[in-house]
Structure 1
Amino acid sequence: DVSQETLDRSTVGSLRPGSFVNLERAVTPSTRLGGHIVQGHVDGTGKFLSASESGGFWTLRVSYPKEIGQYLVFKGSIAVEGISLTIAKLTDEYFEIAIIPKTWEMTNLSGLKNGSDVNLEVDIIAKYVERILLYRDGPDRSGNITIEKLRDLGFA
């Protein structure tokens, strides 16, 4: 079963029987963390723009929707098609990721065509930091005391 939320935010709706997808086991509290924290919650889709190879290593260029741009940083993490990767280059329209030969061979990245939609997941820690900063002074974000705010808190 697939929820409407998943269909709206991911490429799942375009999959056909036999499609190659990347699956990883969930992290447990006793699992050693050796990389980025990926939850498997797609934040949006981007477009696969290009791939270039040099000595068996690949550089992939992917566009991203503006609403996730604030969470992307150079050398930060991004999951593309469920694969946790490091941003090697970042612009306002796209990012590039460096792919080692083993990842290229063992994932569906090697089968992507220019213009293909790809699932993107940003760093969960970045989203939590944003939320904390946004609401540190209360939901109105201004820090001002208003009659409405006092009423909402039960003081007026």
Structure 2
Amino acid sequence: MFTGIVQGLGEIVALDKKGGECRLTLRPLFVLLDIADGESIAVNGACLSVETHNRDSFTAYASAETLSRTLLGGLAHGSQVNLERALALGERLGGHLVSGHVDCLATVTELRPSGQSFVYRLTFPEEFAVEVIYKGSVALDGVSLTVNACGKDFLEANVIPDTRRRTAIRYWRPGTRVNMETDMIGKYVRRLLEARNAPAASGGGLNREFLLENGFL
């Protein structure tokens, strides 16, 4: 589990691609103490497990499933990525609950200044619009951001100067594609509603019995 508060940037120093899989070697560009083999680290919002590590770098394996759903397969030697270690119980939840399981890809279509900040507009597949709400949260390349505007296939988020400085958002331009994870709570609500609104033939549906059972009548 993560929070979307990126701890710093990492640099890809090696890529070992075999078939549809890839093993990445990353060098943190900040002090990352006490890494343990097997721990989870989010790389541009995708949860990966540390296989091996030394004082300067660590390796992580990305399966074919991970590569098919994220942009990790498009990284190259020298690419900079957002890094966040898994949340420890008792730590501050500064962003929002992020699983590290990327839902879809989003594309930057516009950025415009707003005071010292920048507003980014991104498009994404329409099927995920129901999980993106005004003033809700979204993780873009692992960065927790607040949705300031949204529609059937787009969202806008304000990025403050410190976030741009600390993350790879500084490199985003129109056309940049990013990993997107929608709000975890929204996913569960959507699944619950889908189950509750199942066709009457399957025993579900919105009817008097359902309203009575759930205290609406």
Q: Which interval holds the TM-score relative to the shorter structure?
A: 0.7 to 0.9
What is the TM-score of this pair, normalised by structure 2?
A: 0.62
Q: CA deviation at 1:71?
A: 0.3
**Residue 26 (structure 1) aligns with:** 86
Give the gaps of 5 or more residues in structure 1: 147-156
Distance 2:93 2:163 in 1: 18
Residue 102 in 1 paired to residue 162 in 2? yes
Residue 144 in 1 paired to residue 201 in 2? yes
Residue 55 in 1 paired to residue 55 in 2? no
Moved over 3 A (4+): 143-146
Distance 1:75 1:45 in 2: 20
Residue 71 in 1 paired to residue 131 in 2? yes
**Residue 153 (structure 1) aligns with:** none
Residue 37 in 1 paired to residue 94 in 2? no
Give the gaps of 5 or more residues in structure 2: 1-60, 204-217
Which one of 181, 185, 206 corresponds to residue 121 of structure 1? 181
Question: Which structure has the highest strand share of the two?
Answer: 2
Residue 7 in 1 paired to residue 31 in 2? no
Distance 1:46 1:112 in 2: 12
Q: Give the number of aligned pairs.
A: 143
Distance 2:159 2:129 in 1: 21
Q: CA deviation at 1:79?
A: 0.5
Q: CA deviation at 1:91?
A: 2.0
Secondary structure in 2 matching 1:70: helix
Q: For the aligned residues, what is the CA RMSD? A: 1.7
